């Protein structure tokens, strides 16, 4: 909730009737409110409406911490960061407190001493929900000091005893007190650090430099992990695994439509002055299908996964290639063509890991994925028997030349002399401009070639489609 007349002291806060909730109570209350209002819980997270999101809702309603299990590029971090939307817009803390102390129930010794001295006149500060989120990527070199805290030698040098709680410099977890803390790739933590995390989550204490510190912090923990690592045979200690509330499996987009929706939302729109970019639906489907084919390929390691980022990067590169051509040919519209798919080689290679025996090159695997995808999408739009008239013309000696650098008007000229091609172009809605015609013509001809109705020759960047 939003406070228009915000209290400035603990006394004013008490008089206002404000009630401090635990983080999990607060998130549960706001979740219920959003569900009743029909609000979107995780904006930008596509395809989880019937699978992942209901499980997250259950965990929050149950007051359970969450582990998101999934391969790379499955929106785990985005979900974790979105959980702050279930916190109140603002919440009060003791002013100046490092660990966001509850004004009515302070944890740290400094705040307890201050409130004992100043009473109801103790000032408070209001922090936003974004300030209540902490995130750490687990790496083997992370220490207890990073997560929990460490003795500050400067404070010791000032005259305090080593065992004095006030000598502690708090780590990221205490500093996320009364908020949401995310640990990415949890199993990558060293086992001794996992034990420290276990103590802070369950026993609410930790040993720092040989003395025990009570830290009953209030935090909602969400962690991410690769499913293979998050097992008894992996790198997670069993007691920590046992204390996490809900294990929720994420997944890649299960439909081409979801993959395209994510692409459209995530692709960076780099505009070139004077050039309009048109991205045909069938080209988007080819890009998305390349990723889906990769996720099913026996030549690609499925243990590390094939991220949605591959679709996004491939879409950006194909559009860039079309824009580059339009700039050089001084055309006013850039429309990706099948010949632009050569640009996906650079953006695909770094996002797949081969799982083959022998001398198999990435270029060959990617080329196979592209050809399979073009062929599949072509069959979703056409039946090859629709092109009997067109094929008959090729049997009489007709041939068509295409190239990634060929001006769009040359495709329009060739369209006029190839019988049976105009109807197919219209079916793809490619009649709006020369650039759209060029894209549609290339897709049709390549689709016929891949379905063994036309042959093609590739020489010096030029492609010639023929029948014999």
* Domain final residue pick, 228, 249, 270: 249
Q: Are residues 172 and 293 in the same domain?
A: no
pLDDT confidence of residue 207: 62
Q: Please state the domain count of the chain.
A: 2
Chosen domain end from 217, 249, 281: 249
- Rounded to whole angstroms, the Cα distance separating 434 from 452 reads 27
Cα-based distances in Å from 332 to 107, 275, 322, 335, 428: 64, 5, 11, 10, 21
Model's pTM, two decimal places?
Answer: 0.86
Distance CA 348, CA 78 (A): 23
The answer to whether residue 1 sits within a structural domain is no
Contact 366, 373 (CB under 8 A): no
**Is 54 inside any structural domain?**
yes
What does the alpha-carbon distance between residue 389 and residue 391 come to, in Å, rounded to a whole number? 6
Q: What is the pLDDT along the chain (468 residues), one digit of tens a residue?
A: 444 468 999 999 999 999 999 999 999 999 999 999 999 989 889 999 999 999 999 999 999 999 999 988 899 999 999 999 999 999 999 999 989 999 999 988 889 899 999 999 999 999 999 999 999 998 888 888 888 877 766 665 666 655 566 677 788 988 999 999 999 998 888 888 888 788 777 766 666 666 666 778 899 999 999 887 776 556 788 888 888 889 999 999 999 999 999 999 999 887 788 899 999 999 999 999 999 999 999 888 888 789 999 999 999 999 999 999 999 999 999 999 999 999 999 999 888 888 766 667 888 999 999 999 999 999 999 998 889 888 888 888 888 889 888 999 999 888 877 877 888 888 898 777 999 999 999 999 999 999 999 999 988 778 998 886
Look at residue 236 in the predicted model and tell me its pLDDT: 83
The predicted structure's pLDDT at residue 229: 77
Whether 229 and 372 map to the same domain: the answer is no
Domain span at residue 298 reads: 256-466
Asked if residue 221 lies in contact with residue 65, where contact means CB atoms within 8 angstroms, the answer is yes
For residues 204 and 282, state if they share a domain: no
CATH classification at residue 213: 3.40.50.300
State whether 318 and 462 are in the same domain: yes
Does 336 lie in the same domain as 190? no
């Amino acid at each position: 909730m939003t406070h228009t007349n915000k209290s400035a002291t603990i006394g004013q806060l008490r008089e206002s009737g404000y009630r401090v909730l635990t983080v999990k109570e607060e998130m549960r209350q706001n979740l219920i409110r959003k569900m009743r209002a029909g609000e979107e819980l995780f904006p930008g997270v596509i395809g989880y409406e019937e699978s992942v999101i209901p499980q997250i809702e259950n965990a929050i309603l149950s007051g359970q911490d969450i582990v998101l299990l999934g391969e790379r590029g499955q929106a785990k971090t985005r979900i974790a960061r979105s959980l702050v939307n279930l916190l109140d817009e603002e919440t009060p803390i003791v002013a100046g407190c490092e660990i966001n102390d509850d004004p009515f129930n302070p944890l740290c010794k400094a705040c307890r001493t201050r409130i004992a001295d100043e009473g109801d006149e103790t000032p408070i500060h209001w922090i936003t929900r974004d300030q209540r989120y902490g995130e750490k990527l687990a790496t083997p070199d992370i220490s207890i000091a990073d997560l929990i805290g460490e003795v500050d030698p400067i404070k010791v040098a000032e005259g305090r005893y080593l065992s004095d709680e006030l000598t502690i410099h708090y780590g990221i977890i205490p500093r996320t007190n009364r908020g949401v803390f995310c640990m990415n790739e949890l199993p990558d933590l060293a086992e001794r650090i996992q034990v420290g995390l276990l103590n802070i989550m369950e026993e609410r204490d930790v040993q720092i430099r040989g003395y025990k510190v009570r830290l009953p912090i209030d935090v909602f923990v969400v962690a991410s992990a690769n499913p293979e690592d998050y097992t008894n045979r992996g790198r997670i200690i069993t007691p920590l695994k046992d204390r996490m509330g809900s294990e929720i499996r994420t997944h890649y987009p299960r439909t081409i439509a979801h993959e395209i929706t994510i692409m459209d939302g995530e692709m960076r729109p780099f505009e070139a002055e004077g050039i309009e970019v048109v991205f045909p639906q069938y080209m988007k489907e080819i890009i998305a299908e390349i990723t889906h084919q990769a996720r099913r390929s026996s030549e690609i390691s499925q243990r590390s996964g094939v991220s949605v980022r591959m679709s996004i990067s491939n879409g950006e590169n194909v559009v860039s290639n079309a824009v580059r051509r339009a700039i050089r040919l001084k055309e006013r519209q850039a429309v990706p063509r099948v010949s632009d798919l050569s640009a996906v080689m650079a953006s695909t290679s770094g996002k797949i890991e081969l799982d083959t025996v022998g001398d198999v090159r990435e270029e060959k695997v990617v080329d196979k994925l592209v050809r399979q995808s073009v062929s599949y999408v072509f069959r979703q739009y056409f039946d090859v028997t629709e092109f009997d008239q067109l094929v008959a013309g090729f049997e009489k000696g007709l041939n068509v030349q295409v190239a990634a650098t060929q001006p769009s008007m040359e495709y329009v000229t060739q369209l006029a002399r190839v019988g049976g091609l105009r109807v197919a172009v219209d079916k793809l809605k490619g009649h709006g401009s020369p650039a759209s015609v060029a894209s549609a013509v290339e897709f049709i001809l390549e689709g016929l070639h891949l379905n063994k109705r036309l042959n093609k020759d590739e020489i010096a960047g030029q492609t010639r489609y023929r029948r014999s």
